Amino acid sequence: MTTTAPGAAEATPRASRGVAKPSRSTRPQGQWKIDGTEPLNPNEVIKQKDDGLNVRERIETIYAAGGFESISKEDLHGRFRWWGLYTQRRPGIDGGRTASLEPHELDDDHFMMRVRVDGGALTTEQLRVIGQISVDFARDTADITDRHNIQLHWVDVRDVPEIWRRLESVGLTTTEACGDVPRVILGSPVAGIAKDEIIDPTPVIGEIVERYIGDPSFSNLPRKYKTAITGHPSLDVVHEINDLGLVGVVHPELGPGYDIWIGGGLSAQPRLAERLGAFVREDQVADVWVGVTSIFRDYGFRRLRNKARLKFLLADWGTEKFRNILETEYLGYALADGPAPAPAPRSGDHVGVHEQKDGLFYVGAAPYVGRVSGTTLLETARLAEAAGSRRIRLTPYQKLLVLDVPGEQVPALVEGLRATGLETEASGWRRGTIACTGIEYCKLAIVETKGLARQTVETLETRLDRGDHTPITLNVNGCPNACARTQTGDIGLKGQIVTTADGEQVAGFQVHLGGGLSGHGREEGGLGRTVRGLKVTADEVAEYVERVVRRYDDEHEGDETFADWALRVDDEVLQ
């Protein structure tokens, strides 16, 4: 481990709901309804100059013919994102140079492409098409992300029109998979099939996607905008870190519906969402989604991009004002007060074999931190169909489910998935670990993540078998932006360059401890703590995790969770 230089931030002693602060500036904040729509930064200028949705025509008619060098810089570093395309990191640039180089110096001439999978719902035909696109156009790469996307790499702009044609032939799209737009909508992976489901969100997710994704009314938001909707009691869509979360509850008079949460988001200034205390009937969901999204569009802060997420507006307004404006200015009616969600009775990762309400089974399988391949996806589609299934679901934990499996077909499917790298009887370490893209492809990353996370899992499986104890969650992130939810893992690792005791600068991580979202064993979400001086090199990660978890296993009191223990004990215990 390394030491921290004088002047470093104080340790965070307890978990909290967030640190995003309201804006106190008297300068115009770029709120359209207050300050007018004049752009106050270069990003806003580009967005007003030409809607990001319009770049598709140029990709198909100009850039696909002319290749990478024909792409305008404004489109390349801006509008391409509206169609799920980011330039990926040029190979060979080490993490120490990430912050010192300009974007064009980091650019490779290939793209990362996100395929949007709203609600995480795929047919086997759709999965097969993605898999074949990966094989044909993306060097057999594919990652299941923690946001219901399948992410491909090494995509050449000359191939994009054909990729779109194949995706759209089976009802898939990359529309608004990135950019300052409504991103993919997270939905319960067991929507419509779980025995204990409160309400099925499938219809409302479908309505929102059909009516509003790709709608120019919402294609210029202040920043990205994330939605999560679940009707399952396991709280399986990480609703507390989304801009808008809808969670299934039963109103004592109105029956099943949704509890509404607003203003979640992580990155460098994390904040967990807050309840509005309002109950949303199923027939009101689309109205509420439009209302909240419109508030963000019209009142969101656009002057500074690092203050432009909805969480900053909520911090400025508070929940009472937010609800009042939603009801009076946008809905035109009052929402009923409603109950909070009950504590989750079990894990929401859905790994393993589970009976559906119709007597069939769903089989949840874990790759290593979402890393798969086109070949794996093709084989998964084949195995699912051989078992009688035509439906696949992705989860916000980088896992995959096969639905509708007859009981007699389950053993063969489990074995087939295992042979292709998807484990149904996964260890707690494999179940509990997620990782972002990392330096392999991401221009923001400082360290490698996917391979390190897999090596760590394999080492811990050998050295620290915890049996059927509740898995310790390990979230591995390559930079401060928290795509792998650093602050909400039992153990969160934030990538950075660290200095060893010998003065050598190497890849490493700042350690966050005791974070978590509402779920099984945790009634309320909270952000983890950091401890002064607690950083580990990449080579030390497995050793550190083993050491701190053994201390927890030996020293915790009663049914105390790892998070509770990590937030209670002295700093020295966590070193």
* 214: Cα separation from own chain's centroid: 21
Confidence (pLDDT) at 173? 98
B/e letters for 510-520, b = 16+ CB within 10 Å, e = fewer, are bbbbbbbbbbb
Cα(174)–Cα(193) distance, integer angstroms:
27
Single-letter amino acid code for the residue at 93:
I
Confidence (pLDDT) at 18? 72
Confidence at 457, pLDDT banded by 50, 70, 90: very high
**What end-to-end distance do the CA atoms of the chain give, in Å?**
8
Cα(152)–Cα(92) distance, integer angstroms:
20
**Least confident segment among 11-20, 34-43, 266-275, 490-499:** 11-20
pLDDT, mean over the chain: 94
Confidence (pLDDT) at 24? 65
Confidence (pLDDT) at 22? 66
Strand-pair partners of 112: 86
pLDDT per residue over 488-525, tens digit each?
999 999 999 999 888 999 999 999 999 999 887 788 89
pLDDT per residue over 292-330, tens digit each?
999 999 999 999 999 999 999 999 999 999 999 999 999
The angle subtended at Cα 442 by Cα 236 and Cα 208, nearest 5°, is 40
pLDDT per residue over 239-293, tens digit each?
999 999 999 999 999 999 999 999 999 988 999 999 999 999 999 999 999 999 9
Cα(232)–Cα(505) distance, integer angstroms:
46
Token pair recorded at residue 481:
């932006």
Token pair recorded at residue 139:
């060097």
Mean pLDDT of 535-545: 97
Q: Is 7 a residue whose pLDDT tops 70? A: no
Confidence (pLDDT) at 1? 53
Q: Is 13 a residue whose pLDDT tops 50? A: no
**137, 155 contact by CB (below 8 A):** yes
Confidence (pLDDT) at 469? 86
Mean pLDDT of 5-18: 42
Confidence (pLDDT) at 3? 38
* Prediction pTM value: 0.95
pLDDT per residue over 146-190, tens digit each?
999 999 999 999 999 999 999 999 999 999 999 999 999 999 999
Token pair recorded at residue 328:
């009076």
> Using the 8-state DSSP alphabet, how is residue 509 labeled?
E
Q: Is 15 a residue whose pLDDT tops 80? A: no
Three-state SS at 549:
helix
Strand-pair partners of 87: 111
Confidence (pLDDT) at 17? 66
Cα(355)–Cα(340) distance, integer angstroms:
27
Closest C-alpha among 403, 390, 391 to residue 358: 403
Which residue has tokens 């404006």? 325
Single-letter amino acid code for the residue at 346:
R
> Using the 8-state DSSP alphabet, how is residue 8 labeled?
P
Q: Is 6 a residue whose pLDDT tops 70? A: no
Three-state SS at 386:
helix
pLDDT per residue over 386-437, tens digit each?
999 999 999 999 999 999 999 999 999 999 999 999 999 999 999 999 999 9
Mean pLDDT of 30-57: 97
pLDDT per residue over 184-233, tens digit each?
999 999 999 999 999 999 999 999 999 999 999 999 999 999 999 999 99
Cα(569)–Cα(514) distance, integer angstroms:
11
Confidence (pLDDT) at 16? 57
Q: 398: left (phi > 0), else alpha (psi -120 to 50), else beta?
A: left
Number of Cβ atoms within 10 Å of the Cβ of 206: 15
Closest C-alpha among 136, 143, 140, 139 to residue 117: 143
**495, 449 contact by CB (below 8 A):** yes
Strand-pair partners of 259: 247, 279
pLDDT per residue over 67-110, tens digit each?
999 999 999 999 999 999 999 999 999 998 998 898 889 999 99
**219, 176 contact by CB (below 8 A):** yes
Cα(53)–Cα(82) distance, integer angstroms:
6
Confidence (pLDDT) at 435? 98
Cα(460)–Cα(458) distance, integer angstroms:
6
Confidence (pLDDT) at 26? 76
